[in-house]
A = this chain, B = another copy of it.
Amino acid sequence: MRILVARCTVDYEGRLAAHLAEAVRLIMVKADGSIAIHADGGAYKPLNWMNPPNNLTETPERWTVTNTRGEQLVIELLEVLSDVTHDLGSDPGLRKDGVEAHLQELLAADPSVLEDGFRLVRREYPTAVGPVDMLCRDAAGAAVAVEIKRRGETQGVEQLSRYLEFLNNDPALQPVQGLFVAEEIKPQARVLADARGIRCKVVDYAVLRGDRPEDLRLF
């Protein structure tokens, strides 16, 4: 990884046009050829960047970075304050716990959490417009399509609506109800779900995993 600190201006032409006026910034060139330009604020996003693969043409005053999609980044170097290179080696990568996939696994393992008497028919139940996260039968034997999200937004309700539209064309299943499950459900998503006759259920990943019994959450 090459780390440059320099007073510079930057121009990007590609999916849109963007310009950075003169200032001191960090320019990171990674082993895969990617380039990122950071200011001294905002943890996550570089001001400008180019994803690999890139072609870098370098002169002392100007770097021109192009890629195969017709995007171009031009860095005018007015003053280089530092220019160092470190060999970082490869990274073992990030291990995560608590994403939507884990939520799905826990709910599939015990669907009765969603409602008494629920039993799982199939995970990733296929429809013509994509797979439903879970298809269940309730205590009365009626089919229920379950869509699971970490954050419940209107988009997820739309997704479930589409699945229900198709599932309700299957004589072996119909009528199919909808259940929208998330750790957090936004007001607009709830309004839309109500309008579509879809029920909502909020769950807690930590509780499902058994870390914190439900009654302890009162504190």
In this complex, the member of A1, A97, A188 whose beta carbon has the largest number of chain B beta carbons within 10 angstroms is: A1
Complex-state Cα separation, A16 to B95, whole angstroms: 11
A127 to chain B, nearest CB (A): 10
Question: Please, how many residues of chain A have a CB less than 8 angstroms from a CB on the other chain?
Answer: 66
Kindly state the separation between the CA atoms of A30 and B51 in the bound complex, as whole angstroms: 22
A129 touching B46, Cβ below 8 Å: no
Evaluate whether A40 and B31 lie within 8 angstroms (CB atoms) in the complex, with A5-B88, A158-B158 already known. Answer: yes
With the chains together, A146 CA to B19 CA distance in Å? 30
User: A98: CB under 8 A from chain B?
Assistant: yes
A60 within 8 Å of B (CB atoms): no
Task: Please determine whether A26 and B1 come into contact, CB atoms closer than 8 angstroms.
Answer: yes
A41 touches B30 (CB 8 A): yes
* A44 cross-chain contacts in B, Cβ below 8 A: 34, 36, 45-46, 49, 51
A112 within 8 A of B: no
How many copies of this protein are present in the complex? 2
A96 touches B42 (CB 8 A): no
Is A142 an interface position by the 8 A CB rule? no
Contacts of A1 in B (CB 8 A): 5, 26, 38, 40
Known: A31-B41, A40-B30. A20 touches B51 (CB 8 A): no
* Cβ contact within 8 Å between B26 and A97: no
Binds B, one of A78-86, A113-121, A132-140, A170-178: A78-86
CA distance A60 to B115 in the complex (A): 51
Q: Mark A1-41, 1 if CB is under 8 A from B, else 0.
A: 10101000000000111111111111010111011101111
> What would be 28 A-B contacts, judged by CB atoms less than 8 Å apart?
A5-B86, A18-B96, A20-B95, A21-B92, A21-B95, A23-B89, A23-B92, A24-B88, A25-B88, A26-B86, A28-B43, A30-B40, A31-B41, A32-B40, A34-B44, A40-B89, A40-B91, A44-B46, A44-B49, A44-B51, A47-B93, A81-B86, A128-B188, A129-B188, A129-B191, A129-B192, A155-B155, A165-B195
The 4 A-B pairs at the shortest CB distance, nearest first, are namely: A34-B43, A16-B98, A39-B91, A40-B88
